Homo-oligomer: A and B are copies of this chain.
Protein backbone atom coordinates (compact mmCIF):
# COMPACT_ATOMS: atom_id res chain seq x y z
CA UNK A 1 0.00 0.00 0.00
CA UNK A 2 2.82 2.39 0.78
CA UNK A 3 5.94 2.70 -1.39
CA UNK A 4 8.83 1.07 0.44
CA UNK A 5 10.63 3.38 2.84
CA UNK A 6 8.49 6.31 1.83
CA UNK A 7 5.10 7.08 3.25
CA UNK A 8 2.54 9.59 2.10
CA UNK A 9 -0.18 10.72 4.42
CA UNK A 10 -2.79 13.40 4.51
CA UNK A 11 -4.06 13.88 8.03
CA UNK A 12 -3.76 13.22 11.71
CA UNK A 13 -6.32 10.41 11.59
CA UNK A 14 -3.78 8.30 9.77
CA UNK A 15 -1.22 8.44 12.53
CA UNK A 16 -1.85 5.00 13.91
CA UNK A 17 -1.90 3.18 10.57
CA UNK A 18 1.13 5.16 9.63
CA UNK A 19 3.00 4.08 12.72
CA UNK A 20 2.29 0.46 11.96
CA UNK A 21 3.22 0.86 8.32
CA UNK A 22 6.43 2.60 9.28
CA UNK A 23 7.18 -0.15 11.75
CA UNK A 24 6.58 -2.83 9.16
CA UNK A 25 8.58 -0.96 6.54
CA UNK A 26 11.40 -0.49 9.03
CA UNK A 27 11.38 -4.16 9.94
CA UNK A 28 11.31 -5.22 6.31
CA UNK A 29 14.10 -2.86 5.33
CA UNK A 30 16.29 -4.21 8.13
CA UNK A 31 17.32 -7.69 7.04
CA UNK A 32 17.60 -9.05 10.60
CA UNK A 33 15.81 -7.27 13.44
CA UNK A 34 17.46 -9.53 16.03
CA UNK A 35 21.13 -9.71 14.97
CA UNK A 36 22.39 -10.79 18.41
CA UNK A 37 20.16 -13.85 18.43
CA UNK A 38 21.51 -17.01 16.83
CA UNK A 39 19.16 -18.78 14.46
CA UNK A 40 17.46 -21.13 16.90
CA UNK A 41 14.12 -22.11 18.39
CA UNK A 42 13.68 -18.94 20.49
CA UNK A 43 14.40 -16.49 17.70
CA UNK A 44 12.15 -18.41 15.33
CA UNK A 45 9.32 -18.47 17.89
CA UNK A 46 9.60 -14.71 18.47
CA UNK A 47 9.61 -13.79 14.80
CA UNK A 48 6.78 -16.21 13.99
CA UNK A 49 4.64 -14.74 16.77
CA UNK A 50 5.24 -11.15 15.72
CA UNK A 51 4.49 -12.02 12.09
CA UNK A 52 1.24 -13.71 13.07
CA UNK A 53 -0.18 -10.96 15.28
CA UNK A 54 0.77 -8.14 12.92
CA UNK A 55 -0.50 -9.71 9.71
CA UNK A 56 -3.50 -7.56 8.78
CA UNK A 57 -6.46 -9.75 7.87
CA UNK A 58 -4.73 -12.85 9.24
CA UNK A 59 -6.51 -15.15 11.72
CA UNK A 60 -4.17 -14.16 14.57
CA UNK A 61 -4.08 -10.42 13.95
CA UNK A 62 -4.09 -8.32 17.14
CA UNK A 63 -5.05 -4.62 16.95
CA UNK A 64 -2.21 -2.30 17.87
CA UNK A 65 -3.90 -1.02 21.05
CA UNK A 66 -3.89 -4.57 22.44
CA UNK A 67 -0.22 -5.26 21.65
CA UNK A 68 0.97 -5.02 25.24
CA UNK A 69 4.31 -6.63 26.12
CA UNK A 70 5.62 -6.80 29.70
CA UNK A 71 9.24 -7.41 30.70
CA UNK A 72 10.73 -8.29 34.04
CA UNK A 73 13.94 -6.30 34.61
CA UNK A 74 16.44 -8.08 36.94
CA UNK A 75 17.88 -11.06 35.09
CA UNK A 76 15.65 -10.48 32.08
CA UNK A 77 16.85 -7.12 30.79
CA UNK A 78 19.99 -6.69 32.85
CA UNK A 79 22.42 -8.70 34.95
CA UNK A 80 21.39 -9.68 38.49
CA UNK A 81 24.52 -11.56 39.69
CA UNK A 82 26.38 -11.75 42.00
CA UNK A 83 23.61 -9.63 43.54
CA UNK A 84 20.63 -7.56 42.40
CA UNK A 85 21.85 -4.14 41.26
CA UNK A 86 19.40 -2.50 43.62
CA UNK A 87 20.88 -4.45 46.53
CA UNK A 88 24.36 -3.23 45.56
CA UNK A 89 22.94 0.31 45.52
CA UNK A 90 21.33 -0.18 48.92
CA UNK A 91 24.50 -1.53 50.53
CA UNK A 92 26.48 1.40 49.11
CA UNK A 93 23.87 3.81 50.43
CA UNK A 94 24.07 2.33 53.93
CA UNK A 95 27.77 3.14 53.85
CA UNK A 96 27.14 6.69 52.63
CA UNK A 97 24.39 7.33 55.16
CA UNK A 98 26.21 5.74 58.12
CA UNK A 99 27.78 8.98 59.49
CA UNK A 100 24.26 10.26 60.16
CA UNK A 101 23.22 6.96 61.77
CA UNK A 102 25.64 6.20 64.64
CA UNK A 103 23.11 3.63 65.90
CA UNK A 104 23.92 1.46 62.85
CA UNK A 105 27.29 0.58 64.39
CA UNK A 106 25.47 -1.91 66.58
CA UNK A 107 22.06 -2.38 64.99
CA UNK A 108 21.64 -5.31 62.56
CA UNK A 109 21.62 -5.77 59.67
CA UNK A 110 23.30 -2.36 59.28
CA UNK A 111 26.36 -3.23 61.38
CA UNK A 112 26.94 -6.28 59.21
CA UNK A 113 26.66 -4.18 56.04
CA UNK A 114 29.20 -1.71 57.40
CA UNK A 115 31.54 -4.58 58.34
CA UNK A 116 31.10 -6.15 54.87
CA UNK A 117 29.85 -9.26 56.64
CA UNK A 118 27.56 -10.48 53.87
CA UNK A 119 26.87 -13.76 55.63
CA UNK A 120 25.17 -11.98 58.53
CA UNK A 121 23.37 -9.64 56.11
CA UNK A 122 21.99 -12.67 54.25
CA UNK A 123 21.06 -14.34 57.54
CA UNK A 124 18.91 -11.33 58.43
CA UNK A 125 16.47 -12.65 55.83
CA UNK A 126 13.53 -10.80 54.31
CA UNK A 127 13.04 -8.75 57.44
CA UNK A 128 16.61 -7.55 57.39
CA UNK A 129 16.46 -6.79 53.67
CA UNK A 130 13.31 -4.76 54.17
CA UNK A 131 15.05 -2.73 56.89
CA UNK A 132 17.86 -1.94 54.47
CA UNK A 133 15.46 -1.04 51.67
CA UNK A 134 13.31 1.16 53.91
CA UNK A 135 16.39 2.96 55.29
CA UNK A 136 17.80 3.67 51.83
CA UNK A 137 14.61 4.16 49.79
CA UNK A 138 12.32 6.21 52.04
CA UNK A 139 12.46 9.31 54.22
CA UNK A 140 13.19 11.61 51.28
CA UNK A 141 11.23 13.16 48.42
CA UNK A 142 10.76 11.39 45.10
CA UNK A 143 12.91 14.02 43.44
CA UNK A 144 15.73 13.52 45.94
CA UNK A 145 15.63 9.75 45.55
CA UNK A 146 15.71 10.03 41.76
CA UNK A 147 18.79 12.23 41.99
CA UNK A 148 20.49 9.81 44.39
CA UNK A 149 19.85 6.85 42.08
CA UNK A 150 20.99 8.78 39.01
CA UNK A 151 24.21 9.85 40.72
CA UNK A 152 24.97 6.29 41.81
CA UNK A 153 24.24 4.76 38.40
CA UNK A 154 26.52 7.31 36.76
CA UNK A 155 29.60 5.87 38.50
CA UNK A 156 28.95 2.50 40.20
CA UNK A 157 30.42 -0.43 38.30
CA UNK A 158 29.77 -4.15 38.16
CA UNK A 159 32.46 -5.95 40.23
CA UNK A 160 33.27 -8.53 37.56
CA UNK A 161 32.53 -6.79 34.25
CA UNK A 162 34.00 -3.42 35.37
CA UNK A 163 31.32 -1.58 33.46
CA UNK A 164 28.48 0.69 34.57
CA UNK A 165 25.48 -1.38 35.62
CA UNK A 166 23.44 0.28 32.88
CA UNK A 167 25.93 -1.21 30.41
CA UNK A 168 25.41 -4.70 31.84
CA UNK A 169 22.13 -4.97 29.97
CA UNK A 170 21.39 -7.75 27.52
CA UNK A 171 21.93 -6.72 23.93
CA UNK A 172 19.57 -9.40 22.54
CA UNK A 173 16.80 -8.09 24.79
CA UNK A 174 17.41 -4.48 23.72
CA UNK A 175 16.92 -5.67 20.15
CA UNK A 176 13.77 -7.54 21.16
CA UNK A 177 12.31 -4.43 22.84
CA UNK A 178 12.99 -2.35 19.73
CA UNK A 179 11.67 -5.05 17.41
CA UNK A 180 8.39 -5.28 19.30
CA UNK A 181 7.97 -1.50 19.38
CA UNK A 182 8.67 -1.30 15.65
CA UNK A 183 5.76 -3.70 15.26
CA UNK A 184 3.31 -1.58 17.22
CA UNK A 185 3.82 -3.13 20.65
CA UNK A 186 3.75 -0.97 23.76
CA UNK A 187 6.60 -2.25 25.94
CA UNK A 188 6.32 -2.15 29.73
CA UNK A 189 8.69 -3.09 32.50
CA UNK A 190 6.96 -5.00 35.31
CA UNK A 191 9.64 -5.82 37.83
CA UNK A 192 10.19 -6.62 41.49
CA UNK A 193 12.65 -3.74 41.55
CA UNK A 194 11.51 -0.60 43.27
CA UNK A 195 9.69 1.63 40.81
CA UNK A 196 11.60 4.78 41.67
CA UNK A 197 14.89 2.94 41.37
CA UNK A 198 14.17 1.94 37.76
CA UNK A 199 12.54 5.03 36.34
CA UNK A 200 15.66 7.22 36.29
CA UNK A 201 17.31 5.04 33.61
CA UNK A 202 14.71 2.98 31.72
CA UNK A 203 14.00 5.54 29.03
CA UNK A 204 17.62 6.11 28.11
CA UNK A 205 18.71 2.48 28.46
CA UNK A 206 15.66 0.52 27.27
CA UNK A 207 13.55 3.12 25.45
CA UNK A 208 10.82 2.53 28.03
CA UNK A 209 9.44 5.82 29.41
CA UNK A 210 8.72 6.30 33.11
CA UNK A 211 4.98 5.88 32.69
CA UNK A 212 5.55 2.36 31.34
CA UNK A 213 7.60 1.22 34.33
CA UNK A 214 5.78 -0.72 37.05
CA UNK A 215 7.64 -1.91 40.11
CA UNK A 216 7.50 -2.47 43.82
CA UNK A 217 6.29 0.69 45.50
CA UNK A 218 6.61 2.29 48.90
CA UNK A 219 3.85 4.41 50.41
CA UNK A 220 3.98 8.09 49.57
CA UNK A 221 2.47 11.34 50.67
CA UNK A 222 1.84 14.64 48.95
CA UNK A 223 2.77 17.59 51.11
CA UNK A 224 3.16 21.33 50.77
CA UNK A 225 6.47 21.96 52.47
CA UNK A 226 7.19 25.64 53.06
CA UNK A 227 5.15 26.59 50.02
CA UNK A 228 6.77 23.93 47.80
CA UNK A 229 4.85 20.87 46.65
CA UNK A 230 6.57 17.51 47.08
CA UNK A 231 5.92 13.77 47.20
CA UNK A 232 7.54 12.15 50.23
CA UNK A 233 8.57 8.50 50.25
CA UNK A 234 7.22 6.82 53.38
CA UNK A 235 8.62 3.78 55.21
CA UNK A 236 5.92 1.26 54.40
CA UNK A 237 5.47 -1.14 51.52
CA UNK A 238 2.58 -0.11 49.25
CA UNK A 239 2.73 -2.85 46.65
CA UNK A 240 5.13 -5.74 46.11
CA UNK A 241 5.50 -6.22 42.38
CA UNK A 242 6.51 -9.86 42.45
CA UNK A 243 4.68 -13.15 41.94
CA UNK A 244 0.90 -12.55 42.01
CA UNK A 245 1.63 -8.84 42.50
CA UNK A 246 2.72 -8.67 38.87
CA UNK A 247 -0.64 -9.50 37.26
CA UNK A 248 -2.38 -7.42 39.94
CA UNK A 249 -0.24 -4.41 39.04
CA UNK A 250 -0.56 -5.05 35.32
CA UNK A 251 -4.33 -4.83 35.73
CA UNK A 252 -4.02 -1.76 37.96
CA UNK A 253 -1.55 0.18 35.82
CA UNK A 254 -2.36 -0.97 32.31
CA UNK A 255 -5.85 -2.44 32.53
CA UNK A 256 -5.16 -4.69 29.55
CA UNK A 257 -3.92 -8.26 29.56
CA UNK A 258 -0.53 -8.56 27.81
CA UNK A 259 -0.13 -10.68 24.71
CA UNK A 260 3.59 -11.16 25.39
CA UNK A 261 5.53 -11.49 28.64
CA UNK A 262 9.22 -12.02 29.36
CA UNK A 263 10.82 -13.13 32.60
CA UNK A 264 13.62 -15.23 34.05
CA UNK A 265 12.67 -16.34 37.55
CA UNK A 266 9.96 -17.87 39.72
CA UNK A 267 8.67 -14.38 40.50
CA UNK A 268 7.57 -14.11 36.88
CA UNK A 269 5.41 -17.24 36.80
CA UNK A 270 2.11 -15.50 37.49
CA UNK A 271 2.80 -12.76 34.94
CA UNK A 272 3.37 -15.39 32.26
CA UNK A 273 0.35 -17.43 33.40
CA UNK A 274 -1.82 -14.31 33.23
CA UNK A 275 -0.54 -13.51 29.75
CA UNK A 276 -1.15 -17.07 28.62
CA UNK A 277 -4.77 -16.79 29.80
CA UNK A 278 -5.33 -14.13 27.13
CA UNK A 279 -7.91 -15.30 24.57
CA UNK A 280 -5.80 -13.56 21.92
CA UNK A 281 -2.63 -15.16 20.53
CA UNK A 282 0.05 -14.79 23.18
CA UNK A 283 3.73 -15.42 23.83
CA UNK A 284 5.68 -16.28 26.98
CA UNK A 285 9.45 -16.44 27.30
CA UNK A 286 11.94 -17.29 30.05
CA UNK A 287 15.58 -16.24 29.86
CA UNK A 288 17.64 -19.16 31.20
CA UNK A 289 21.07 -18.13 32.46
CA UNK A 290 23.28 -20.94 31.17
CA UNK A 291 26.43 -19.05 30.36
CA UNK A 292 28.97 -18.99 33.19
CA UNK A 293 31.67 -17.86 30.82
CA UNK A 294 30.10 -14.74 29.32
CA UNK A 295 27.66 -14.01 32.17
CA UNK A 296 26.43 -16.45 34.87
CA UNK A 297 24.89 -19.91 35.01
CA UNK A 298 22.21 -20.39 37.66
CA UNK A 299 18.66 -21.58 38.11
CA UNK A 300 17.06 -23.87 40.69
CA UNK A 301 19.18 -23.04 43.73
CA UNK A 302 20.28 -19.46 43.20
CA UNK A 303 19.50 -16.96 45.97
CA UNK A 304 19.15 -14.22 43.34
CA UNK A 305 16.69 -14.80 40.51
CA UNK A 306 15.88 -18.40 41.41
CA UNK A 307 14.32 -20.30 38.51
CA UNK A 308 13.01 -23.55 39.95
CA UNK A 309 9.27 -23.97 39.67
CA UNK A 310 9.41 -21.70 36.64
CA UNK A 311 11.54 -24.18 34.76
CA UNK A 312 8.96 -26.91 35.32
CA UNK A 313 6.09 -24.58 34.49
CA UNK A 314 7.79 -23.51 31.28
CA UNK A 315 8.07 -27.12 30.14
CA UNK A 316 4.49 -27.95 31.14
CA UNK A 317 3.00 -24.83 29.58
CA UNK A 318 5.17 -24.65 26.47
CA UNK A 319 6.81 -21.34 27.29
CA UNK A 320 9.88 -20.51 25.24
CA UNK A 321 13.07 -21.01 27.25
CA UNK A 322 16.10 -19.15 25.94
CA UNK A 323 19.37 -21.03 26.32
CA UNK A 324 21.58 -17.99 26.74
CA UNK A 325 24.78 -19.90 25.98
CA UNK A 326 23.73 -21.22 22.59
CA UNK A 327 21.04 -18.75 21.50
CA UNK A 328 22.69 -15.41 22.22
CA UNK A 329 25.44 -14.35 19.86
CA UNK A 330 26.46 -11.59 22.23
CA UNK A 331 25.36 -10.90 25.79
CA UNK A 332 26.24 -7.27 26.50
CA UNK A 333 26.35 -4.28 24.13
CA UNK A 334 29.73 -3.53 22.57
CA UNK A 335 31.71 -1.18 24.87
List residues of A whose CB falls within 8 A of some B CB: 5-12, 14-15, 18-19, 22-23, 25-26, 29, 65, 142, 182, 186, 195, 199, 203, 209-211, 213, 217, 220-224, 228-229, 231, 244-248, 251-256, 270, 273-274, 276-277
Contact = CB atoms under 8 A, between A and B. Distances in A.
A255 B199 contact: yes
A246 to B, nearest CB: 8
20 contacts: A6-B10, A8-B8, A9-B22, A15-B19, A15-B22, A18-B18, A19-B19, A195-B252, A195-B255, A199-B255, A211-B255, A213-B255, A220-B251, A221-B244, A221-B248, A222-B270, A224-B273, A229-B273, A231-B247, A231-B251
A129 B253 CA distance: 25
Contact of A5 (B11, B213, B276): B11
Given A12-B182, A186-B211, A210-B255, 10 more contacts: A9-B22, A12-B25, A14-B22, A65-B209, A142-B251, A213-B255, A217-B252, A220-B252, A223-B244, A229-B276
Nearest to A203: B65
The count of identical subunits is 2
A184 to B, nearest CB: 11
A273 B253 CA distance: 24
Nearest to A23: B12
Chain A facing B: main interface SS:
helix
A186 B211 CA distance: 11
Contacts of A203: 65
Contact of A253 (B8, B19, B253): B253
Contacts of A231: 247-248, 251
Q: Which of A7, A12, A203 has the most B CB atoms < 10 Å from its CB?
A: A12
B8 A210 contact: no
Contacts of A270: 222, 229
A193 B11 CA distance: 34
Contact of A10 (B5, B220, B221, B229): B5
A217 B252 CA distance: 8
Contacts of A246: 222
Contact of A211 (B12, B224, B228, B256): B256
Contacts of A273: 224, 229
Contacts of A19: 15, 19
Q: Which of A199, A252, A254 has the most B CB atoms < 10 Å from its CB?
A: A252
Nearest to A214: B253
A256 B9 CA distance: 32
Contacts of A14: 22
Nearest to A209: B65
A99 to B, nearest CB: 30
Contacts of A26: 11-12
A247 to B, nearest CB: 4
Contact of A22 (B12, B25, B251, B277): B12
